[in-house]
């Protein structure tokens, strides 16, 4: 754990979490869904399925950033996931021929069923003793509900981009969530495994905690990220480390 700032954790009233990747291990969920998809397994061995999963996730982020930079409204994550999957599959004609519409839909749907990282559930329960603990993430409210139900995560409240009518990394979405929570930016902590998310939160005056997850941010220089936010938590149980700081 590294800390660059001396802000007082006792001032924090709301802990605001990104969901997918930060609290859940989407890669295990998606590769497991791929393993249950016979036509995909017949074409791709396990390591190539893992690569496809990572490309799918990266392609999704590229789409999100592209739409955001063009000022386009957010779209249903299922639609984005399907488009990215179709593009990836098209690069492999054998796979493209064997993967029918129903298989693709099943794979798209599998993003709704996530597995919590081993430290997430207990850390969130611990944080809820002293703070409001909520989700702020791009996607639909139904997606967030499906993810928390399948993973067993329990938050006080879920804010989706669909619900707030804004998309991360727009600073307005953080400010809108904080206004609904009735706290000032300096009384809140944004927690994410994505530097782009925390960079935006930081501009609003929120405190920021970077959670290092091996599936996320592989394009970032961690030596730089380590010194960019109020807190940087890595190791096997970064959320456990975060929750320990709040024991009060």
Residues that bind a second copy (CB under 8 A): 128, 132, 140-142, 144-145, 148-149, 154, 156-158, 162-163, 180-182
Alpha-helical (H) ranges within the chain are: 26-35, 38-43, 46-69, 77-90, 93-98, 101-109, 120-128, 141-151, 161-164, 171-181, 195-203, 222-225, 238-245
> Cβ 44 to a second copy, closest distance in Å?
31
* Residue placing its CB nearer to a second copy in the complex, 176 or 237: 176
* Residue placing its CB nearer to a second copy in the complex, 90 or 180: 180
* Residue placing its CB nearer to a second copy in the complex, 18 or 216: 18
CA angle 74, 76, 80 (to 5 degrees): 90
> Cβ 136 to a second copy, closest distance in Å?
13
> Cβ 34 to a second copy, closest distance in Å?
25
* Residue placing its CB nearer to a second copy in the complex, 74 or 238: 74
Antiparallel, parallel or unpaired: β 188-192 and 14-17: parallel
Contact yes or no for 232/225 (Cβ under 8 A): yes
> Cβ 228 to a second copy, closest distance in Å?
30
Q: How far apart are CA 26 and CA 21, in angstroms?
A: 6
Per DSSP, the residues of 57-96 read HHHHHHHHHHHHHTTPPP--HHHHHHHHHHHHHHTSHHHH
> Cβ 103 to a second copy, closest distance in Å?
22
* Residue placing its CB nearer to a second copy in the complex, 62 or 180: 180
> Cβ 137 to a second copy, closest distance in Å?
13
φ, ψ for residue 147, nearest 5 deg: -70, -45
> Cβ 141 to a second copy, closest distance in Å?
4
Q: Can the peptide bond before residue 9 be classed as cis, meaning omega within 30 degrees of 0?
A: no
Reported as half-sphere exposure (CB side, CA atoms, 13 A), residue 15 has a value of 25
* Residue placing its CB nearer to a second copy in the complex, 135 or 192: 135
* Residue placing its CB nearer to a second copy in the complex, 41 or 145: 145
Radius of gyration of the chain (CA): 18
């Amino acid at each position: 754990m590294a800390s660059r700032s001396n802000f007082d954790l006792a001032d924090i009233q709301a802990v605001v979490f990104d969901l997918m990747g930060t609290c859940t291990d989407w890669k295990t969920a998606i590769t497991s869904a791929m393993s249950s998809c016979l036509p995909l397994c017949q074409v791709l061995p396990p390591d190539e399925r893992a690569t496809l999963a990572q490309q799918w996730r990266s392609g999704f982020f590229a789409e999100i950033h592209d739409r955001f930079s063009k000022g386009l409204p957010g779209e249903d994550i299922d639609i984005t996931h399907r488009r990215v999957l179709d593009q990836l599959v098209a690069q492999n004609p054998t796979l493209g021929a064997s993967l029918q519409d129903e298989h693709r839909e099943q794979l798209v749907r599998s993003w709704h069923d996530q597995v919590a990282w081993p430290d997430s559930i207990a850390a969130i329960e611990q944080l809820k003793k002293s703070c409001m603990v909520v989700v702020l993430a791009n996607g639909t409210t139904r997606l967030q509900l499906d993810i928390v139900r399948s993973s067993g995560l329990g938050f006080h409240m879920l804010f989706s981009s669909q619900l707030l009518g804004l998309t991360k990394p727009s600073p307005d979405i953080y400010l809108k969530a904080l206004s609904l929570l009735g706290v000032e930016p300096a009384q809140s902590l944004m927690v994410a495994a994505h530097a782009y998310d925390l960079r935006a939160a930081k501009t609003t005056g929120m405190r920021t905690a970077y959670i290092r997850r091996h599936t996320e941010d592989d394009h970032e220089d961690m030596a730089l990220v380590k010194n960019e936010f109020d807190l940087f938590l890595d190791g096997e149980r970064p959320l456990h480390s975060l929750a320990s700081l709040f024991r009060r």
